[in-house]
Amino acid sequence: MAPSRRAVAAVLGVVVVVEVLSAIVLAVSVGWGWRAALETFVATNAVMGIAFGACGSVIAWYRPANLVGWLFLADGIGHATSALTAPLAQALADQGASSGSQRLAVTVFLWSWPWSIGLFMPLALMLFPDGRLPSPRWRPVAVGVIATAPLFALEMGGGSESLGPGLPNGYPAWSGYDSLGALWTAAEIRTLLALLLAAVALMVRYRRADTTARRQLQLLLLSTITVAGVTTSWSFVAGTPTVVLFAIPLIPVAVAVAILRHQLLDIRLVVSRAVTWLLLSLGVIAAYVLLVALLDTFVSAQFGRSVVATVAVALLVGPVLPRLQRLVGRAMYGDRNDPARVVSRVGQHLQTGTPASLAEVAESIQAALRVPHVAVRSDETCLGQAGGSPAGATQEVTLTYGQEVVGRLVIGLRPGERALGRPDQEAVGLIAGPLALAVHAMGLSSELKASRERLVAAREEERRRLRRDLHDGLGPVLTGLAFAADAAANLQSADPVRTANLLDTVRSHARTAITDVRRVVDDLRPPALDELGLVGALRQRADQVAYRADGTPVQVCLVSPDDLHALPAAIEVAAYRIATEALTNVVRHARATRAELRLSCDDTLEVQVLDNGPANGAWSPGIGLQGMRERTDELSGRFEAGPSASGGRVFASFPLGTS
């Protein structure tokens, strides 16, 4: 049905345009100038008809299921019809047409536009922006607005006022119209109440809305504030020029842009200022009226009560303005002008230190700054985000811990912005420090978890190797040893020669078992450590790696303290394994002729292997380097490896107090 609805929308839009153009032609033909067009509301109705009709037609074309477009089309037809029938009545009078035809034209003029103000516009605002009411609870309100709309139309169309000199009244021209003043007052209150309820519906939507819907509501809010500001005086102050009604078309324009192009620009700053000044103006008017009433009673006229009231109001407004601006600014931009509050909200989510907390941090930052997208990233990994994928431009804030870049805070810019404003940057600057610390801590936690997993995997792998060695090596040997011993015991008296052979077999199997046990034990802990100590074992190992594979001698020098005190077993094994692996790498890969192994022991045990091999760029980590680093990490140590100014360097440090 969308194509047929679009065709209807286009036809109705054309009808509005034709009516307005015809109104202009008729107004010119009857000799009405600009002033006459204003006094008969032809100009204002024509502009409002074009605005509501065109915007409604565009909305109905692109969003056929949205009732807002159709209500605006009806609104535009009502205003355009009023604009057409006013000069039409004058033309009929000038041509001497019958009184009935003139009264009919005046009647159409009087009865067509009230529906636009009393029904179509408030109902469209209630249904903005998706064509549905804020909730089912609003259905009675909408029904009430529809049911009471004829009362306002009856007030506007049933009066006895003439459209102009020489023109008759419209139908039905009641003689008792003026006696129903209370009813017409109720009709005025009803219309104001309908518009007020529409404003309340918009406020309810704003409180419940997400970022996209709030952008739509902000556009309408700004236009409504502008219209209210310029038309209020026309409603309550006599003599206000009719031209102020030309502000009303801002509402359909804002609605059309909000529904179809809500990402066009970000107007929150303008809305914030407009709301502030509107609230302040209303407060000033109320305070001025109250003070004048009081001063009229208690202050003599000789002091000039109006001057005193003005000064008093000015003194009251001074401190109120910045506070009011902060309240409105917080509603529009969140807490960006209160960075401490933002940090406090973010800190509540950083206490757990889990990936889920970073997602909550992103949501908290998005809510605090009212931005469309926030993400916390480490390298190419997203640790947490809010607002979905960024639809527009973004700005990144680097998260650093010390001199290390640990991540990035990606913030989506508001539509119309090219960069974050100064208040946003100040708030983000305070957030970046604790957020970087949290990302760094989470990275360390992930590394620790991975290290523990590798440690458990290595331990289980070692257990499996031991089981295999015992089962496949020592197990069969001991089984054969037991069988040979049983056989020797059974043949001891019957066959002494064979018994002697079996005992030789037992002795051979026993030696093999002892060799296997020693091999398993040596794999668990180098025997040289127990026999010679760490320094002696390293000196022995240094003598064993004195030549490269090509026969080139390598001079290995061991520098260590004379009285190296007893070390924890785990640190002693790790230091030995790292030193021997480093010396083996020097002989295999470094093309060095000299190597130096240094040991130092104070609060920490430091092992350093230096060589004079050529520098070949950064080292690519292999199994050997990875094993050395893991041994160091398991004991909370520090490991470094790579080229230096004089050759290669491997360094490991182990804290002694924690082992």
Assign 3-state DSSP to the chain and report helix, strand, coil percentages, each to 5.
70, 10, 20
Q: Determine what percent of the chain is predicted with pLDDT higher than 90.
A: 12
Which residues have CB under 8 Å from 130's CB, separation 6+?
Answer: 66
Domain boundary among 264, 287, 304: 264
**Looking at the structure, do residues 553 and 611 belong to the same domain, yes or no?**
yes
Cα–Cα dist 303/340, whole Å: 48
Q: Regarding predicted confidence, which is higher, 309 or 229? A: 229
Q: How far apart are CA 117 and CA 90, in angstroms?
A: 25
Q: Which amino acid is at 144?
A: G
Residue keyed to tokens 């070692």: 462
Closest-CA residue to 255 (of 123, 431, 106, 347): 123
Q: Exposed/middle/buried for 314, CB within 10 Å: 0-12, 13-18, 19+?
A: exposed
Are residues 52 and 79 in contact, defined by beta-carbon separation less than 8 angstroms? Answer: yes
164 & 117 share domain: yes
- pLDDT score of 211: 64
Spatial CA neighbour of 326 closest among 339, 315, 338, 341: 338
Domain end marker among 316, 333, 350: 333
Domain that holds residue 607: 533-655
Q: Are residues 625 and 651 in the same domain?
A: yes
**CA distance linking residue 256 with residue 359, whole number of Å:** 35
Q: Tell the residue number behind the tokens 């153009």, with chain if given.
A: 21
Out of 223-227, 305-309, 357-361, 432-436, give the one with best mean pLDDT: 432-436
- Distance between CA 468 and CA 457 in Å, rounded? 16
Query: Which residue type sits at 602?
Result: D
Q: Do both 461 and 486 map to the same domain?
A: yes
pLDDT tens per residue, range 438-468? 777 777 777 777 777 777 677 777 777 777 7
Segment among 138-152, 295-309, 473-487 with least mean pLDDT: 295-309
Number of domains present in the structure of the chain = 5
pLDDT of residue 267: 44
Higher-pLDDT residue of 510 and 227 is 510
Spatial contact of 120 and 75, defined as CB atoms under 8 Å apart: yes
* Span 158-174, pLDDT tens digits: 776 667 777 888 887 67
pLDDT digits (tens, 9 = 90+) for 613-643: 887 767 777 778 888 888 888 888 899 988 8
Is the previous residue joined to 129 through a cis bond, with omega within 30 degrees of 0?
A: yes
CATH of the domain at 251: 1.20.1070
Classify strands 555-559 and 647-655 as parallel, antiparallel or unpaired.
Answer: unpaired
Per-residue pLDDT at 409 exceeds 70: yes
- CATH code of the domain containing 621: 3.30.565.10
374-378 sheet: strands from edge to edge: 381-386, 374-378, 404-412, 394-401
Instruction: From residue 105, give the alpha-carbon distance in Å to each of 75, 88, 91, 98, 274.
Output: 19, 7, 10, 11, 41
Residue 175 CB neighbour total at 10 angstroms: 8
**Where among 244, 264, 284 does a domain terminate?**
264
- Three state DSSP letters for 393-445: CEEEEEEEECCEEEEEEEEECCCCCCCCCHHHHHHHHHHHHHHHHHHHHHHHH
Most confident of 78-82, 240-244, 495-499: 78-82
pLDDT at position 57, please? 92
Instruction: Spell out where 567-637 has E strands.
Output: 594-601, 604-611
Identify whether residues 41 and 126 lie together within a single domain: yes
Check pLDDT > 90 for residue 273.
no
| Cβ-defined contacts of 188-197 (< 8 Å, 24+) | 188/152, 188/155, 190/118, 190/148, 190/151, 190/152, 191/117, 191/118, 191/152, 194/118, 194/122, 194/145, 194/148, 195/121, 195/122, 195/125, 197/122, 197/126, 197/141, 197/145
H/E run at residue 217: helix 211-236
pLDDT value, residue 80: 93
Grouping H, G, I as helix, E, B as strand and the rest as coil, residue 233 is helix
Of the candidate ranges 387-396, 578-587, 589-598, the one whose mean pLDDT is the lowest: 387-396
Cβ neighbours around 442 below 10 Å, total = 21
Which tens digits make up the pLDDT trace of 184-207? Answer: 788 888 888 888 888 888 888 877
Q: Residue 261: which of 213, 206, 211, 216 has the closest Cα?
A: 216
363: helix, coil or strand?
helix
Q: Could you tell me which residue, 158 or 657, shows the higher pLDDT?
A: 158
What CATH number should be reported for the domain holding residue 492? 1.20.5
Residues 240 and 350 in one domain: no
Q: What CATH code is carried by the domain that includes residue 402?
A: 3.30.450.40
Q: Per-residue pLDDT averaged across 508-529, rounded? A: 73
Residues 488 and 579 in one domain: no
Are 625 and 642 members of one domain?
A: yes
Q: Are residues 123 and 230 in the same domain?
A: yes
**Per-residue confidence at 323, pLDDT binned at 50, 70, 90?**
low
Indicate if 149 and 255 belong to the same structural domain.
yes
Tell me what pLDDT residue 302 has.
44
Largest CA distance in the chain: 157
Do 376 and 517 share a domain, yes or no? no
Are 106 and 139 contained in the same domain?
yes
pLDDT, tens only, 339-350:
555 556 565 555
Kindly give, in sequence order, each residue whose CB lies less than 8 Å from that of residue 558, ignoring residues fewer than 6 positions away.
535, 538, 539, 542, 596, 597, 599
Strands of the sheet containing 555-559, edge to edge, are 555-559, 594-601, 604-611, 647-655, 638-644
> Omega of the bond prior to 172 within 30 degrees of 0, cis?
yes
259/217 Cα distance (integer angstroms): 9
Token pair in block for residue 224 = 């409504």
Q: Are 276 and 321 in contact (CB under 8 A)?
A: yes
